[in-house]
Structure 1
């Protein structure tokens, strides 16, 4: 069960945005990722609990940012309930989208496994529900994902080889493009994300049932 820390920064000017301390592991239903977010001053800034099935589809999501909270799952697209700071105004919503996305590296892993791309193959277009910080405001975004390469790399610390995948992600509204490097269920590097500490080798993704 890998656990560790991601450092977060603004992808444009590298302003520090804090860190995310996480645990993740395969389980009976697929894969689960839990994390707590700390701001640049070290104070608690939020949390994430995401469970996806073996194909990467979101079974349950609970996100917190400040005093805001959002719970969601794959149901007739994506369905969610967002609760404000007072706790009494629950706002339900639904969108024709495939998965959640946001500032957490967990979303990159989940979407990559959902798409199941092949190296050098065609790009895949996917509609995602972005949870915009700091108030978890949901909005749909369209992205194009391409798996550029998948290669074995020797890892001395792990005492073996890791398969590192390089993805190109294009935002179809803004035209912004970024590269993401994954191995197993860990993000090695991505725009605004740096893996700073990892206490165990990445886990293999659970095999989907036929």
Structure 2
């Protein structure tokens, strides 16, 4: 069960956004990720609790940021409820997207696991619902993911396979490169892995790949 710490910053200007302490692991249903982001002053800023099924679909999402909370799942596309942290009636939403995305590294792992790109089929376009701090207002957008390649590195705990992806936002034209090892993000725009106490879980986020 990997536990560690990500440093998050604004990918546009490098402004520090805080430290996200996380733990994640495969389980009977698929994969679960739990984290808390503290801002640079040490105040709680965001929480993530995401569970995927074995196909990479979000079967439970609980996301908190600022004065807002979102609960969601894959149901007739994706369905969610957004409500104020102080309580009251929430606002429900549903759209024909495949999953959620957001600022946390959890969503990069989740999307890669959902798409399962291979050298034979290295590119896929996916519709996602973005939930961005601090207000978590849902925004539907399309991304194109391309598997750029894989590298295997020898480590003290055994071979470590790293996959590099190019991610293109089809609405803004923004492009970034994401490096994943199992269920851990090694580097991505606005994300830096600062600490990891055990190796990434094997088998995540994509099945073993073979060249044809």
TM-score of the two chains, using structure 2 as the length reference? 0.93
1:87-98 paired onto structure 2 within 5 Å: 87-98=87-98
Q: Secondary structure at the match of 2:112?
A: helix
Contact 1:8/1:193 (CA < 8 Å) preserved in 2? yes
Contact 2:176 2:188 survives alignment (8 Å): yes
Partner residue, 1:197: 195
Shift of 1:55: 1.3
Following superposition, the deviation at residue 169 of structure 1 comes to 0.2
Whether the aligned pair in 1 keeps the contact of 2:81 and 2:91 (CA below 8 Å) is yes
1:3 is matched with 3
Separation of aligned partners in 1, 2:162 and 2:142:
25
Q: State the partner residue of 2:158.
A: 160
Deviations 1:123-179 (A, max 9, x none): 2000000002101110101000000101211224xx311010000000111111000
Once the two structures are superposed, the pairs formed by residues 23-102 of structure 1 within 5 Å of their partners are: 23-102=23-102
Query: What is the CA–CA distance in structure 1 between the aligned matches of 2:85 and 2:122, rounded to whole Å?
Result: 43
Instruction: Confirm or deny: 8 A CA contact 1:120 1:148 kept in the other structure.
Output: no
Gaps of 5+ in 2: 208-212
Q: How far has the Cα of 1:122 moved from its partner? A: 4.0
CA deviation profile, 1:51-82 (whole Å, cap 9, x unmatched):
00111100100001122110000000000111
- 1:14 is paired with a residue whose SS is coil
Partner of 1:104: 104
1:48 and 1:63 in contact (8 A); partners too: yes
2:182 and 2:58 mapped to 1: Cα distance?
18
**Cα separation, partners in 2 of 1:49 and 1:107, compared to 1, 3 Å:** same
Instruction: Give structure 1 stretches of 5+ with no counterpart.
Output: none
Output the CA distance in 2 between the equivalents of 1:120 and 1:153: 22
Aligned length: 206
Q: TM-score w.r.t. structure 1 length?
A: 0.94
